[in-house]
Structure 1
Amino acid sequence: MARRRTVGYIQNEWVCPNCNTRNKGGVKTCENCGAPQPENVQFELPSEQKFVTDENAVKAAQAGADIHCGFCGTRNPATATTCSQCGADLKEGKARAAGQVMQQPAAQPKIMKCDNCGTENPSSNAVCSNCGSPLPKLAPAQPAFNAPQARSGLSPAAPLTGKRSSRAPWVVAAAVLGCLAIICIGAIVLFAFPTSSVQATVTDVYWQTSVPVQEVQAVNYSNERGDPPSDAYNVSCHDESRDVCEQKTIDKGNGYSEVVEDCHTETETYCSYTVDEWTTIQTYTLDGHDLQPVYESPSVSSDQRIGNESETLTVYFTTEDGSQETYTADSISEFQQFTIGSTWTLNMNLAGGILSVEP
């Protein structure tokens, strides 16, 4: 079952369309020019996000979405019944949109220079400390929604919508993908494509064959995820649960955002059990330096069996410049073509490995 708890409230801000002044979310008219906030001007998260601690501010955040008067457009608190500007009944008004997840603000410089007088101001200032001119806010490069945060890492003074980066997420992602692409292309060029061919003579061959003998034995498994096999015995299972939490910052439609933590419990079953399985108890090997690999033929009892045979087929070459190269044949029929003294063309990759051979 999903669970939600409120972590706290932060005050948003909005930008006056008349004078470009940044205003605190709880302020309903522009602090610079006095113009009311229009219905279509959205709230934004401030660059510095802190929980509000004032009791009245918390109550305002919890009150619900503000209502714009249906006659004059003035923004009124959710608890109001008549417009504070024209006195009209707010039953005809329209509540502001609420409930959407707020997007991460763009990273702001620590110091912002006033375009009007050149005074340097902290980026948290909405207006210039010298001349009172509005200080603009950088627009987000693209929406970046809240990322899951560990419960233990929560701090009221920390950014509440994920880690703030000086680069847009898509720039970082593009850089990572670009690096991975270069690495992949380099690996393909290094290992997959032939870059040179050399003539070489077969100087030796070597084969080794393996024949496993198996019998049914009890095999124990511990803390395996999921249900045990149907033929398992000595079964012991237990459930392990963990809370998975995600933090979001949600617009309340009244100049504040609610920081919530949504959690749900994920449960997985782990089992220990015993299963009877065919198990290799001994492997018989033979080897030689000729072109006729042979396999051991061990005798087995009624409760045993022969497992899958395997072989390793190695060819040794000496190139024209005297270097030694090793090649592993894929099949016995291929291996038997490499007679001692025969000459072959070795197609080499950039790393010096043999990709293929030609007579």
Structure 2
Amino acid sequence: MSNADMFLDMARTAHVKGQTEQALSLIDRVLYTEPNNQAAWLLLAETTPDPARRTQAYERVVAINPQTAAGKQAVAALQATPAPPATSAPPAAPAVPADPRPPANADSAAPKQPAVREGRWDCRYCGSKGVRGRDIACPACGHVRDKEVRFYLPEEADEVLDAALLQRAKAGVDWLCAFCGTSNVATAEQCRQCGASKAESNQHQAEKTYTLDQVPRSAKAPKPTPAPAPPPSKSGGCGSVVAIAAVLLLFFVGLGAWLLWPRSSEMAITGYSWERTIAIEELQTVTEEGWEIPAGGRRLSERQAVYGYNQVLTGYETRTRNVSEQVQVGTETYTCGQRDLGNGFFEEVQCDRPVYETRTRSETYEEPIYQAVPIMRTSYTYEIDRWRVVTTRRVGGSNRRAEWPTLNLRDNQRAGTRTEQYIVVLEDGNRRRYELEVSQAQWEALREGQRVEVQTDAFGKPISIE
């Protein structure tokens, strides 16, 4: 026996027991997979209480094959169906002249009703997946969904347009029989399983509202909703730029630390050098200019000069500028969530948000006008004696006898700043030579041929002697 035959047998049994809704659900399941199954269409015609749907089912049986036993039975049933009584047409109403005025609110469209979509549920008895929300009982095993059922809405779920299904979806949540636990549609006044009255039961399937990111797409428990991200800054991609800059900064800091991190290497001292300098200063008479004459200065001349400027307000000038502003021009309705109706169907949750438009307007304003007024002060020209560096005496060598240059100074000269530098020549294991500046005490303590521990950079260049 095929699955279709098994489902049709179950549907016939349910029909005999008066369980019409379960029988129709089983028949629909067969027709979903085998739309040309004559036996299913014939059983649908015998089961449905809807005359229009019964006629449609018979016509479908005949269209498939009128020569089979099922086809002949359908033809006989259609011929026995009485035609609707003819009704006389009412007298024509007198013509009414057209009103030239447009109807009120002619340009305003009726608000769109929230879309209804059919959900799915999984049978926890036989494991069937994706059972339609309209099916109270599992078409595979016949078990009725209970209060533990979890409805979910697949991403590809289409909008329900059938009037009967829409009426079913909006009838209310399913109620649960207090005696046998059977789930029943909201319009049923008695339990489909045991016949208990709806008034004796007060349990219902849960009605829930979800935001768009929380809508269950499968029967699995939803993942915890993550904390909302902070709103983006007005600068748009500023956050991304900052993140990239931070990564680059960390990279270069790490690279610099690796390059500068000292290494230890043994090297030999192969030579020395030294250099000492003394700057020679001479007292000279120079001419300078300033707002004051310093001590020791001798005035030569003076004059009035511009010391600075004051910004003085002289008036206002009327100017025009363009100003952009956000103006609310209305509201728009958008889908902000889904509501589980507790009966296998979901309905869109609609929210309103303001709609803004950028408008530019012209405005006048008063621009202050300033004039730069010079500040006059007395400027002095004077002469004064200053020590000036005229030459530098320098002496050096590659021996261990460092000394200062010999000076022959005139009466108007003196020794100025002194400098000294001490160098050792180092050689590594690859016979590469480096010069390293050290202190005088270290230079005097080291000996040629001595092997010392040297801190180097990443390229082997000496940094210091340990």
TM-score by length of 2: 0.36
Larger helix proportion, structure 1 or 2?
2
Structure whose CA Rg is larger: 2
Larger RCO: 1 or 2 (CA < 8 Å, sep 6+): 1
